[in-house]
Amino acid sequence: MILLSMVILTAFMALLNGYHRSMEEAQRQLDLQLMSMAQVLIETPAEHWPEQQSLYGQLWRQDHLVYTAKLLAKMPVSLMDEVGFATENIAGTRLRIFVLHKQDKRLLLAEPIQKRYLLSESLILSAMTPLVMAMPLLAVFIAWYIYRALRPLTTLSHELKERNARDFSKLVITSEDAEVAPVIERLNSLFGKVEKAYMRERFFAADAAHELKTPISSLKINLHNLAQEVHHPSLQAMQKGVEQLNHIVEQMLTLARTEPDRWHVNFHPVDLEQLSQEVVAQLYQRIDEKQLQISLDAKPQVILGCEFTLKTLFVNLLGNAVKYTPVGGKIKLTIDAQGSGISWIVEDSGPGMDSKQMARIFDRFYRVGGDKHPSGEKGAGLGMAIVQQIAEIYGAQIKLERAQLGGLKVRVTFLKEHLCK
């Protein structure tokens, strides 16, 4: 469209400039013709002048009027004084006049401006009409050729647009064009390398975590048995370290099991209120140990999902609130139905986060304050990464903000397409 617009605009400017130049040249030629006729007529007796349509003359010999056209009968005689071309209004008609003096004769020859312009325009338009008629054909040809030239890129763009983000198979389309063929070849090569890297990254953590479970379980059993026989502070520290290692392994396995692409087939109606009650019951021992006040403000709200992923999402968010809320603090759960969807909200009276910490909270292995968090709680730094990954399964929106209780407020909004009708 830009190219066609520029071609049309350039052609229009060229035609306009050509029209003005042609009109000037036509007027110059008509002036020369008028002067030539005047030179012939001044030597010809007036009674032998040929009849001319739209050409008017007046002839004086000395101070006597020899001949005059009716249109010039009342013309001021002073117009005859100056030799050359002029444009005058005479008897309501705009005329181009030429005055010629020769010996004792004075001749004024006049031609209507309108006639000159009509003649000039007809000549110019007859010359320019073929070019004007060719412009639509040129525009159609340019549009067709550009479409044909860009068709491989358009096809490539459509295939890439419709391709799943985790589809690393080779592109189906082929092209012989020198501009497109290397692009397709490089993309296919890149897809192959990215797929290998993706599969290594995807399965390494799961495989490593799975292989670690057996020795960790064995280590836990041996430490438990050893603690029955030997009482030493170091054993308790080792047991806590093993528990922390086991927690990291479990989180890594959960992260591997919650890949977004393979869960939609398992979706069925899930009541968020009932599931939230189960999550509170699961974590109630930790809530009671810290003497926390927890409230649930909800009504039955059903969405399409699977219990495992939703429960993992809620356990991680509520577990963080329990972990970082000080003893005797408050936690509030709310399920709020809005026009845009259903929001599951948890807020606490803990220390909260600043904007920089909120920006990094979804990074894997990131923990606020690292292992020196004021709460003294241990963690793997994977909980919020799991939360974000599960949110992607549902296309849910996560919003972090300051809670009215003073700590962190996390809002997870499930959009309309996941609501049960």
First to last CA, the chain: 45
> Which domains can be identified in the chain, with CATH numbers?
2-120 (3.30.450), 181-256 (1.10.287.130), 260-418 (3.30.565.10)
Q: For 409, list phi and psi in degrees, rounded to 5.
A: -120, 125
| Predicted pLDDT of residue 334 | 92
Chain Cα centroid distance, residue 379: 40
Nearest alpha-carbon partner for 388 in 258, 280, 250, 278: 258
**In the structure encoding, which two tokens stand for residue 182, read together?**
């290397």
Quote the percentage of the chain above a pLDDT of 70: 83
For 269-294, give the secondary structure using H, E and C.
EEEHHHHHHHHHHHCHHHHHHCCCEE
Residue located via tokens 């985790």: 166
Does residue 210 have a pLDDT over 70?
A: no
pLDDT tens-place string over residues 69-101: 888 888 888 888 889 999 989 888 889 999 999
- Averaged pLDDT, 269-294: 90
Does residue 332 have a pLDDT over 90?
A: yes
For the ranges 222-231, 274-283, 349-358, 384-393, which has the lowest average pLDDT? 222-231
Identify the top-confidence range among 9-23, 40-54, 210-224: 9-23
| Predicted pLDDT of residue 8 | 81
| Predicted pLDDT of residue 128 | 77
Task: Classify residue 312 by burial, with Cβ atoms within 10 Å: 0-12, 13-18, 19+.
Answer: buried
**In the structure encoding, which two tokens stand for residue 334, read together?**
């709310």
Task: Classify residue 32 by burial, with Cβ atoms within 10 Å: 0-12, 13-18, 19+.
Answer: exposed
Q: What is the spatial distance between Cα 83 and Cα 30, in angstroms, rounded to a whole number? A: 17
Task: Classify residue 148 by burial, with Cβ atoms within 10 Å: 0-12, 13-18, 19+.
Answer: exposed
**In the structure encoding, which two tokens stand for residue 79, read together?**
């117009």
The contacts of residue 90 (CB under 8 Å, 6+ apart) are 71, 72, 75, 110
- Averaged pLDDT, 123-152: 81
